[in-house]
């Protein structure tokens, strides 16, 4: 059971918009800690996608965006492409654990 809760799967057709939610609690996201997102393509290492709730590292397309409100955060992907098919993970800091926590991951399928 992950500290941060994500839907196991989402799907969308090419060109569509999908969102992935990440729900935490008062000891992590709700405490005001930042949320970060990672993309893990099949058989590869995770890659930083969004940091500090809504910032994209250099090279990440602006089709990817992040937001945070209350005890939850969301990753939005617009103009869905076949190469976006991957697992997506949210991450934050937890004051009870005094360390990093990840969501359980969401598998995105492009139909």
Which residues contact another protein (rule: CB under 8 A)? 2, 33-34, 36, 38, 45-48, 51-52, 57, 87, 89, 91-93, 97-105
Q: Which is nearer to another protein, 13 or 98 (CB)?
A: 98
Q: Would you state the structure tokens that stand for residue 63, as one six-digit string?
A: 């089709």
Q: Which pairs with CB-CB distance under 8 Å and at least 24 residues apart come from 82-87? A: 82/14, 82/110, 84/108, 84/110, 85/41, 85/42, 85/109, 85/110, 86/39, 86/40, 86/41, 86/42, 87/39, 87/40
CB of 48 to another protein, least distance (A): 5
Q: Which is nearer to another protein, 14 or 41 (CB)?
A: 41
Q: Which is nearer to another protein, 40 or 78 (CB)?
A: 40
Q: Which is nearer to another protein, 13 or 58 (CB)?
A: 58
Q: Round to whole Å and give the CA distance between 60 and 44.
A: 17
């Amino acid at each position: 059971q992950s500290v941060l809760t994500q839907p196991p799967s989402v799907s969308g057709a090419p060109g569509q918009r999908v969102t992935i939610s990440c729900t935490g609690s008062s000891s992590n996201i709700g405490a005001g800690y930042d949320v970060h997102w990672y993309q893990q393509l099949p058989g590869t290492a995770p890659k930083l996608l969004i940091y500090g709730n809504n910032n994209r590292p250099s090279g990440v397309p602006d089709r990817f965006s992040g937001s945070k409100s209350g005890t939850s955060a969301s990753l939005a992907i617009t103009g869905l492409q076949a190469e976006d098919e991957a697992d997506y993970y949210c991450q934050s800091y937890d004051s009870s654990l005094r360390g990093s926590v990840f969501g359980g991951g969401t598998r995105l399928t492009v139909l």
